[in-house]
Amino acid sequence: MKTTDSYHKWVEWSEEDGVSIGKCPDLISGIHGDDPVRVYADLARVVEEVVAHFEQSGRQLPPPRVRPMQDVG
The reported pLDDT for the residue numbered 3 is 92
Residues 46, 31: Cα–Cα separation, whole Å: 9
Residue 66 is predicted with a pLDDT of 87
Amino acid 72: pLDDT: 56
Say if 40 falls within a structural domain.
Answer: yes
Question: Is 66 inside a domain boundary?
Answer: no
**Which is more confidently placed, 1 or 26?**
26
Q: Containing H/E element for 47?
A: helix 36-56
What residues have CB less than 8 Å from 17, skipping those under 6 apart? 32
- Which residues, in sequence order, are CB contacts of 19 under 8 Å at separation 6+? 13, 32, 33, 34
pLDDT in tens, 9-61: 999 999 999 999 999 999 998 999 999 999 999 999 999 999 999 999 999 99
- Please give the Cα distance from 32 to 25 (Å, whole number): 14
pLDDT the model gives residue 71: 60
Task: Give the number of domains in the chain.
Answer: 1
Residue at 16 is within a domain: yes
